[in-house]
Amino acid sequence: MKIVLAYSGGLDTSVLLAWLKEIYDAEVIAFCANIGQEEELQGLHAKARRTGASKVYIDDLQEEFARDFIFPMMRAGAIYEGQYFLGTSIARPLIAKRMVEIARKEKAQALAHGATGKGNDQVRFELTAAALEPDVEVIAPWRDERFRQQFPGRSEMIRYCEEKGIPVQASAKKPYSMDRNLLHISYEAGMLEDPWFDAFAPGNKKMFTLSVAPEDAPNRAEYVTLEFRKGNCVAVNGRKLSPLGVMKVLNKLGGKHGVGRVDMVENRFVGMKSRGVYETPGGSILHFAHRQMESLTMDREVMHLRDSLVPRYSELVYYGFWFSPERLALQALVEESQKNVSGTVRVKLYKGGIYAAGRKSRLSLYHPDIATMEADPTQAYNQDDATGFIRLNALRLKVGAKVGNRR
């Protein structure tokens, strides 16, 4: 039997690698995706081999992540429950997709992951596998009673590694868990499980990685221009960039000004509420600027229709249905809506805030001559027409009111 394991080199996945090999008498292929987590990948190949992996894949997926996952989601204006930019949610389908590709190449029968049985990630991994390779088996050790009994805590894992000669460096456990990629970094569990705990208090500044506290940001605002073409940001401050380049530049700018911090209680797909703290500096700027570009170039009814679907689209991403037919159908509508979303947006960054400072486009639907409160030289809008417009729209209200008075 061959198993492809999502591997990071940390304590949990090192234990998983050895445990899977032992329990399933299997050949384990370790896979690590570089999606911008900025973790030290040097030495990971050798470490996985020493732990027992028959093969090791360490793939740089950052460009694909930005181009094929983050950018389509941004074109859709996705945001879960009004606050979460879906940083972890959108990364899991890419990781699982690559695992499926490796499984096909290596003729592996199963995939394995270290997601817990209480979280969303297990669902995201396995729904992707089901959509792309329906016959592949998925092994989730944290849902296996044998694994949970053998490893009820961190100390048992460390002892197991010592007994097996597994090269892991046991560090002090942080009072929260973290997940980082190109779009964001999340913090949850531990001390953050108390929803009254103030994550942004001065004493917790060391927790944050991507951004400074807004009060510590520069006292001088910074202006940034973003150029869009068909809904995609293609340049920042006049410099043409790939999707990956855009994310890296915006992350740096946003982090410098304390942009993109969120603390929320969200609804997990598995049924419970959970508290998460997020840093999404670049994604926050991109989402805001994209909306400004749409405000100038998108037809009203198209915008309202698309906006009505944003909660559904965001749910599909959050729940793990990235490769579902309904998400693909919604994406087709999104792409149609983005045909004219081209032009330039200027934003001001200041102490955690993002402010519109200008927008322009040759495809603009905004015409000053029509919108002006002064005399319209084009006579494109006749104010007398509003009388009939109002009367027709008021008709049903009048009829309803008269019927109501008869009760």
Q: What is the pLDDT of residues 251-303, one digit of tens each?
A: 999 999 999 999 999 999 999 999 999 999 999 999 999 999 999 999 999 99
Alpha carbons within 13 A on the beta-carbon side of 397: 5
Q: Which residues contact 79 (CB under 8 A, 6 or more apart)?
A: 85, 86, 287, 310, 314
Q: What is the percent of the chain with per-residue pLDDT over 70, rounded to a whole number?
A: 99
Cα dist from 375 to 76, 146, 365, 366, 381, whole Å: 38, 79, 19, 17, 10
Q: How far apart are CA 156 and CA 170, in angstroms?
A: 12
Residue of 57, 44, 139 lying closest to 105 (CA atoms): 57
The answer to whether the beta carbons of residues 55 and 201 sit under 8 Å apart is no
The average pLDDT across 38-44 equals: 82
Options 8, 12, 89, 274, the catalytic residue: 12
pLDDT number for residue 360: 98
pLDDT for residue 168 is more than 80:
no
Indicate the SS3 state at residue 173: coil
Task: Record the tokens describing residue 136, joined without a space.
Answer: 């592949």
Average pLDDT value for the chain: 95
pLDDT for residue 369 is more than 90:
no
pTM here is 0.94
pLDDT number for residue 377: 73
Cα dist from 236 to 62, 128, 372, whole Å: 19, 33, 31
Is residue 148 among the annotated active site residues? Answer: no
Is residue 299 among the annotated active site residues? Answer: no
The average pLDDT across 78-83 equals: 98
Q: What is the pLDDT of residues 121-156, one digit of tens each?
A: 999 999 999 999 999 999 999 999 999 999 998 889
Q: Walk across the sheet containing 185-188 and list its strands.
A: 177-180, 185-188, 273-279, 261-267
Residue of 291, 225, 343, 309 lying closest to 75 (CA atoms): 291
Task: Record the tokens describing residue 135, joined without a space.
Answer: 């016959």
pLDDT number for residue 171: 59
What are the start-end ranges of the E strands in 339-396?
A: 343-350, 353-360
pLDDT for residue 199 is more than 90:
yes
Options 146, 148, 177, 229, the catalytic residue: 177
The average pLDDT across 388-393 equals: 96
Options 8, 121, 186, 327, the catalytic residue: 121
Indicate the SS3 state at residue 61: coil
The average pLDDT across 63-74 equals: 98
Options 75, 89, 92, 337, the catalytic residue: 92
- The separation between the first and the last C-alpha atoms of the chain, rounded to the nearest angstrom, is 75
Letter for the amino acid at 181? N
Q: Is the dihedral of CA 314, 315, 316, 319 positive or negative?
A: positive
pLDDT number for residue 42: 83
Burial class (CB in 10 A: 0-12, 13-18, 19+), 164: middle
Q: What is the pLDDT of residues 23-32, one digit of tens each?
A: 999 999 999 9
| pLDDT class of 399 with cuts at 50, 70, 90 | very high
The string of DSSP letters for 187-208 reads EESGGGGSTTS-TTSGGGGGG-
- Where in the chain are the domains? 2-164, 177-298+340-360, 378-405
Q: What is the pLDDT of residues 327-365, one digit of tens each?
A: 999 999 999 999 999 999 999 999 999 999 999 999 999
Alpha carbons within 13 A on the beta-carbon side of 375: 1
pLDDT for residue 72 is more than 90:
yes
pLDDT for residue 39 is more than 80:
no
The answer to whether the beta carbons of residues 5 and 15 sit under 8 Å apart is no
Is residue 25 among the annotated active site residues? Answer: no
pLDDT number for residue 176: 85
| pLDDT class of 172 with cuts at 50, 70, 90 | low
Q: What is the percent of the chain with per-residue pLDDT over 90, rounded to a whole number?
A: 86
Task: Record the tokens describing residue 49, joined without a space.
Answer: 């081999």
pLDDT number for residue 59: 97
Letter for the amino acid at 290? H
pLDDT number for residue 173: 67
Identify the weakest region by mean pLDDT among 12-26, 175-189, 367-381: 367-381
Exposure letters 68-106 (e unless 16+ CB within 10 A, then b): ebbbbbbbbbbbbeeebbbbbbbbbbbbbbbbbbbbeeb
Q: What is the pLDDT of residues 207-216, one digit of tens each?
A: 999 999 999 9
pLDDT for residue 76 is more than 90:
yes
Is residue 135 among the annotated active site residues? Answer: no
pLDDT number for residue 378: 74
pLDDT number for residue 301: 98
For 2-164, CATH gives 3.40.50.620
Overall fold of domain 177-298+340-360: Argininosuccinate synthetase, chain A, domain 2 (3.90.1260)
